[in-house]
Chain A
């Protein structure tokens, strides 16, 4: 897998590059700003781009805008956006078109390497990766608690992991369950919440998020 890194802090930029190298992920370019990112993707499209939301010159949302531009211009290139704080509006913008090949994580998550690399691979393969903190905030919205009240605790856990974009296998691993029982739970969740049954992982995320947002 080949990725491009866009991060203005040199410590982090080099650190991430070296870390990915050790997980057999090739870093084809590491740039410090949005213009560099777009140029690198244009010159040699990677499988995914790791983008920091805040970059020069204004340090507000250059990264986000560049990520959205890449999604529309190069649909085959996934974007994994990193942010210092949970900004639900950013998450919404990224997911608005199509939940596939998009990820939104907190910078803290880089330290949990397995989650970071897992999210990156998920995004490159066409799936979704949402930070658990973002999911937690979305799950807390008052309009949804009526429906959520119908779910058991286990099902609510699985719903959270679903919203993060994990596959059944990953959920089974995370919760130490058998894949078959995860499948049953997922079906039950979709039925209880009145959601259309979705085939692919990223469509599942879309369905869940649409439910959470309404």
Chain B
């Protein structure tokens, strides 16, 4: 108890202390702790299982049990949130989901998932804490009134009945005083325990700060991308409905001039102008196609088929998607196919291309195979090829000289490596894939065939 600074403040505090039982807060905290004992018991058992399984995880039975325990532990933040929300008004966000979609992906991700381990630690620490808090609280509620009123009903007890281990009437007053002390102290003990629980929850059940930051960044990125897509679509629409229509009308008027005029020179000029208008329309069409291909509105399958039809090298498309991917993903896939087809037409010397798009446990898998002479690599800006597997390493570690033909990978035909789109087209694709949390890999032995695989997660 702190020393009051003035008698009035001191009296105010005293009243607060004494009146603790009259506030709803104390009762809610008591209910929280008591219920905490009950609901905390099974999770405590879970935590013990977890500890045992961790120690036994070298054995064959230990590891699956551990995985199961961790999976259940991941659910406990939500489980504990219910009484906390209802009784104490506490709130916290759901933990981030596991970064995997298939069953086995999730199984692999669990042992390294921080959320699960932190929640397990909380389960282990919680139950003892609840007991430590709840038991005195219950005692206080039940026994303290009895003790305080003890002097009153002591006389009514039969002679050989010994409550509170006491014989004399004077002793009853001592018991009563003890009961009073307990009654005053208990609410504050409850508050302390609940405070400790709050600290534990903040440390172990709340999404950690880095997880929150990641969630914010991902949301921000998704918002930016859909904004960009919406803006492109708007520009495309405006160019379409406005500019293209005006150009056509202009062409019409020029045509009429050409028709009406009897002077050869005027007719020639009008015809030339009309030719320019036609070229402008063609360019407009190309620009819009480069920004937001209208075929995409009809779905990826139609769009990719259109690309394949326009390709100089005959191409076949197979698309086996269940539902439409989000726009930024669809757009990225479309432009990837367009870029790859251009590359193949220019450098590969191929006669056939196969384009395949299907779902995968990591998202959507796009495979483009051609029967050309191979030798393609991803050359990061800076000149060093990275070929198979990952996208280019960070710029900071690459040599400064641009465009050096690398001697690196004999299997990929170093002499041809520079020629295949100088690799920077592929590097750009790899960068775009990485921006969407995806990956790009190139398998292109000398002599072909070449397969480029792009994997993009379905959710951004």
**Residues of chain A at the chain B interface (Cβ within 8 Å):** 9, 11-12, 15-16, 18-19, 22-23, 84-89, 107-108, 110-113, 137-138, 140-142, 145
From B239-247, B418-426, B434-442, the one touching the partner chain is B239-247
Q: For residue B297, which residue of chain A has the nearest CB?
A: A60
Complex CA gap A56/B112 in Å reads 56
A110: chain B residues at CB < 8 Å are: 248, 251-252
**Are A140's CB and B252's CB within 8 A?**
no
**Are B255's CB and A11's CB within 8 A?**
no
**Are A142's CB and B278's CB within 8 A?**
no
**Are B251's CB and A111's CB within 8 A?**
yes
Q: For residue B277, which residue of chain A has the nearest CB?
A: A111
Do A22 and B252 contact each other (CB < 8 Å), given the known contacts A111-B274, A140-B310, A145-B314? Answer: no
**Are A9's CB and B309's CB within 8 A?**
no
Instruction: Answer yes or no: B260 CB below 8 A from chain A CBs.
Output: yes
A-B contact sample (5 more), CB < 8 A, given A84-B244, A85-B295, A87-B298: A12-B249, A18-B256, A108-B282, A111-B254, A142-B315
Chain A interface, >50% SS class: helix
Complex CA gap A142/B353 in Å reads 10
Q: For residue B289, which residue of chain A has the nearest CB?
A: A85
**Are A23's CB and B281's CB within 8 A?**
no
Complex CA gap A85/B306 in Å reads 11
Q: For residue B294, which residue of chain A has the nearest CB?
A: A85
A84: chain B residues at CB < 8 Å are: 240, 244, 294
Tell which of B254, B306, B352 touches A137, judged by Cβ atoms closer than 8 Å: B306
**Are B352's CB and A142's CB within 8 A?**
yes
Complex CA gap A112/B274 in Å reads 8
Please, could you name 27 A-B residue pairs with CB atoms under 8 Å apart, sorted by A?
A: A9-B241, A11-B245, A11-B249, A15-B249, A15-B252, A19-B256, A19-B259, A22-B256, A22-B260, A84-B244, A85-B295, A88-B306, A107-B248, A108-B248, A108-B285, A110-B252, A111-B248, A111-B252, A111-B255, A111-B274, A137-B309, A137-B310, A140-B310, A140-B311, A140-B314, A141-B309, A142-B352
Q: For residue A18, which residue of chain B has the nearest CB?
A: B256
User: Nearest-CB distance from A55 to chain B (Å)?
Assistant: 12
Q: For residue B253, which residue of chain A has the nearest CB?
A: A15
Instruction: Answer yes or no: B398 CB below 8 A from chain A CBs.
Output: no
**Are B252's CB and A89's CB within 8 A?**
no
Q: For residue A11, which residue of chain B has the nearest CB?
A: B249
Most buried by A among B245, B252, B295: B252
Q: For residue B246, which residue of chain A has the nearest CB?
A: A11
State the interface size on chain B (CB cutoff 8 A). Answer: 36
**Are A111's CB and B253's CB within 8 A?**
no
**Residues of chain B at the chain A interface (Cβ within 8 Å):** 240-241, 244-249, 251-256, 258-260, 274, 277-278, 281-282, 285, 294-295, 298, 302, 306, 308-311, 314-316, 352
Most buried by B among A22, A86, A108, A141: A108
A11: chain B residues at CB < 8 Å are: 245-246, 249
Complex CA gap A142/B308 in Å reads 9
B247: chain A residues at CB < 8 Å are: 111
User: Nearest-CB distance from B145 to chain A (Å)?
Assistant: 75
Complex CA gap A43/B160 in Å reads 115
A137: chain B residues at CB < 8 Å are: 306, 309-310
Complex CA gap A86/B298 in Å reads 12
**Are A111's CB and B281's CB within 8 A?**
yes
User: Nearest-CB distance from B270 to chain A (Å)?
Assistant: 11
Q: For residue A145, which residue of chain B has the nearest CB?
A: B314
Complex CA gap A85/B310 in Å reads 13
**Are A22's CB and B294's CB within 8 A?**
no
A15: chain B residues at CB < 8 Å are: 248-249, 252-253
B281: chain A residues at CB < 8 Å are: 108, 111
Complex CA gap A140/B245 in Å reads 29
User: Nearest-CB distance from A143 to chain B (Å)?
Assistant: 9
Complex CA gap A21/B184 in Å reads 102
User: Nearest-CB distance from B106 to chain A (Å)?
Assistant: 40
A88: chain B residues at CB < 8 Å are: 306, 309
User: Nearest-CB distance from B39 to chain A (Å)?
Assistant: 55
Tell which of B254, B259, B277, B295 touches A23, judged by Cβ atoms closer than 8 Å: B259
User: Nearest-CB distance from B277 to chain A (Å)?
Assistant: 5
Complex CA gap A37/B246 in Å reads 23
A112: chain B residues at CB < 8 Å are: 274, 278
B251: chain A residues at CB < 8 Å are: 110-111
Complex CA gap A142/B317 in Å reads 10
6 smallest CB-CB distances across A and B, nearest first, come from A111-B251, A142-B314, A15-B252, A113-B255, A11-B249, A137-B309
Most buried by A among B248, B311, B316: B248
**Are B278's CB and A89's CB within 8 A?**
no
User: Nearest-CB distance from B244 to chain A (Å)?
Assistant: 7
Complex CA gap A111/B249 in Å reads 8
**Are A19's CB and B248's CB within 8 A?**
no
User: Nearest-CB distance from B55 to chain A (Å)?
Assistant: 61
User: Nearest-CB distance from A81 to chain B (Å)?
Assistant: 15
Complex CA gap A111/B248 in Å reads 6
Most buried by A among B255, B281, B282, B352: B255
Complex CA gap A80/B314 in Å reads 30
Q: For residue A17, which residue of chain B has the nearest CB?
A: B252
Q: For residue A7, which residue of chain B has the nearest CB?
A: B245
Complex CA gap A107/B247 in Å reads 10
Tell which of B244, B254, B309, B352 touches A107, judged by Cβ atoms closer than 8 Å: B244
Do A111 and B260 contact each other (CB < 8 Å), given the known contacts A15-B253, A140-B311? Answer: no
User: Nearest-CB distance from A112 to chain B (Å)?
Assistant: 6
User: Nearest-CB distance from A35 to chain B (Å)?
Assistant: 21
**Are A22's CB and B314's CB within 8 A?**
no
B258: chain A residues at CB < 8 Å are: 113
Complex CA gap A15/B308 in Å reads 36
Do A19 and B255 contact each other (CB < 8 Å), given the known contacts A88-B309, A140-B314? Answer: yes
Complex CA gap A111/B282 in Å reads 12
User: Nearest-CB distance from B375 to chain A (Å)?
Assistant: 24
**Are B302's CB and A12's CB within 8 A?**
no
Most buried by B among A12, A18, A140, A142: A142
